[in-house]
């Protein structure tokens, strides 16, 4: 099951089924693409006849046509969020990346444009019933959280070690996808207070997800988990009792199993053994230890950037130009966008985050007016914090489908009106 590209039969079966359902209920396409973007093992990457013809692109482009036809019949082709500042920023950013890729390779980056099409497809589908769509997306998020958590924990037990890979691949990728799900599930838990069974299921998924992320041994992922925890504690989604209980469990574990704790910390921190803890004084070996062997790649990328600081080396060209580690990823989306697209691309990418946080913080501060949209703003804030920090040291950011989904949700949230019911819900939450 690791290489589904060799199983076109699966795609041949899935395509007509999903497209048939899409004609009847277009929202199903959004939910399928959300689930697909959240899982690392992507079924929709199956290709037909030619590598460019993937199930993903068939569904996105054909789905867009179906949605456009249905919206034309209703006389509402253009979603309100299309005219938002976010939509303009996303469009300019993706087109600039497409231009950068074409300038150097003289080929069309279909994956880049695919993200743009998906963004506007998400706007159209979210525009129908945003809050209901958000609830359904949260329910879908439970699937990867439980699936990744269960398989990762089973692998950890089987190997008698932490930091093992899940069925979906790299342990850090699994823990990050799980962390994104946790960011949605914590606010969602407050939206289903009247549904006890669902609330219990969501709580169980959150607990298992936190365990997976904690045992993944990713320094940045662990740091982001702490940041997200503090954010939701400040937002009163996590009570003082629960936080104190978690601290007590950690302290008890420290007392009972000190040798396991020291092993865990050694793997987590991975500092050099020389005792020299000033990064500025590390030699090459020490820096490689501290950065998990990525320091040479960072240095090479920076040197490439200095040679072409404004226009960059070309979008998605790092893998082809880096000679030190052929075929290796840079492990820093922020540095990658800087070296590949130069200052303009870096500035546009930064603007996406800045504008997202401005919109979301304004919604949070206006909690007495936004009602249940408050929970949506909290979920998106947590998710964007994850992308902001993980991009410093890992390969998540502007290449992730989920990233553009969150941007589409932020743009829709900005343009969505608020009802009287929302106002009463927000006052009760406050």
Distances from the Cα of 307 to the Cα of 135, 243, 248, 277, angstroms: 48, 49, 52, 31
Q: What is the mean pLDDT of residues 272-294?
A: 49
Domain extents in the chain: 1-77, 84-109+311-430
Does the pLDDT at position 410 exceed 90? yes
Residues 352-379: tens digit of each pLDDT:
999 999 999 988 887 665 567 889 999 9
Categorize the per-residue pLDDT at 276 as very low, low, confident or very high, splitting at 50, 70 and 90.
Answer: very low
What is the number of alpha carbons within 13 Å of residue 309 lying toward its C-beta? 1
The two three-digit tokens of residue 179, written as one number:
């962390």
Residues 191-201: tens digit of each pLDDT:
988 888 989 99
The owner of tokens 């973007």 is 37
The two three-digit tokens of residue 143, written as one number:
């699937």
Q: Contact 148/212 with Cβ under 8 angstroms?
A: yes
Residues 201-221: tens digit of each pLDDT:
999 999 988 888 887 777 888
pLDDT in the model for residue 351: 97
Categorize the per-residue pLDDT at 302 as very low, low, confident or very high, splitting at 50, 70 and 90.
Answer: confident
State the SS3 of 305-326.
HHHCCCCCCCCCCHHHHCCCCC
Provide the H-helix boundaries in 192-239. Answer: 196-214, 219-234
Categorize the per-residue pLDDT at 337 as very low, low, confident or very high, splitting at 50, 70 and 90.
Answer: very high
Residues 43-71: tens digit of each pLDDT:
666 666 666 677 777 778 888 888 888 88
pLDDT in the model for residue 15: 66
pLDDT in the model for residue 420: 40
pLDDT in the model for residue 270: 59
Does the pLDDT at position 281 exceed 60? no
pLDDT in the model for residue 180: 93
Does the pLDDT at position 178 exceed 60? yes
């Amino acid at each position: 099951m690791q290489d589904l590209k060799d199983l076109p039969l699966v795609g041949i079966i899935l395509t007509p089924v999903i497209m048939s359902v899409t004609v009847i209920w277009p929202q199903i396409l959004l939910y399928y693409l959300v689930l697909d973007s959240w899982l690392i093992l992507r079924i929709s990457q199956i290709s037909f006849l030619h590598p460019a013809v993937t199930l993903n692109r068939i569904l996105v482009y054909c789905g867009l046509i179906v949605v456009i036809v249905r919206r034309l019949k209703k006389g509402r082709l253009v979603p309100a969020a299309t005219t938002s500042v976010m939509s303009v920023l996303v469009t300019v950013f993706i087109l600039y990346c497409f231009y950068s890729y074409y300038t150097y390779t003289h080929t069309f980056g279909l994956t880049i444009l695919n993200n743009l099409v998906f963004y506007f497809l998400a706007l159209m589908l979210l525009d129908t019933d945003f809050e209901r769509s958000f609830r359904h997306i949260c329910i879908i998020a439970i699937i990867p959280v439980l699936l990744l958590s269960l398989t990762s924990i089973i692998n950890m037990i089987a190997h008698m070690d932490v930091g093992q890979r899940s069925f979906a691949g790299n342990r850090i990728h699994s823990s990050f996808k799980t962390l994104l799900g946790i960011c949605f599930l914590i606010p969602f838990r407050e939206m289903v207070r009247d549904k006890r069974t669902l609330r219990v299921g969501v709580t169980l998924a959150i607990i298992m997800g936190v365990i997976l992320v904690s045992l993944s041994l990713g320094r940045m992922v662990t740091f982001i988990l702490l940041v997200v925890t503090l954010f939701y504690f400040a937002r009163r989604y996590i009570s003082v009792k629960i936080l104190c209980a978690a601290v007590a469990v950690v302290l008890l574990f420290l007392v009972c199993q000190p040798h396991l704790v020291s092993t865990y910390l050694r793997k987590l921190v991975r500092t050099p053994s020389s005792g020299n803890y000033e990064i500025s004084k590390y030699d090459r070996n020490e820096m490689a230890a501290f950065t998990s062997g990525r320091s040479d790649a960072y240095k090479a990328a920076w040197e490439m950037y200095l040679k072409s600081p404004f226009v960059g080396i070309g979008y998605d060209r790092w893998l082809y130009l880096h000679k030190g580690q052929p075929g290796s990823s840079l492990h820093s989306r922020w540095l990658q966008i800087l070296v590949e697209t130069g200052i303009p691309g870096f500035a546009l990418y930064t603007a996406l985050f800045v504008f997202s946080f401005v919109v979301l913080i304004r919604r949070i501060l206006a909690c007495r007016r936004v009602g249940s949209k408050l929970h949506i703003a909290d979920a998106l804030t947590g998710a964007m914090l994850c992308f902001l920090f993980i991009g410093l040291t890992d390969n998540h950011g502007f290449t992730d489908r989920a990233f553009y989904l969150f941007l589409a949700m932020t743009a829709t949230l900005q343009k969505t009106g608020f009802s009287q019911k929302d106002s009463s819900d927000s006052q009760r939450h406050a």
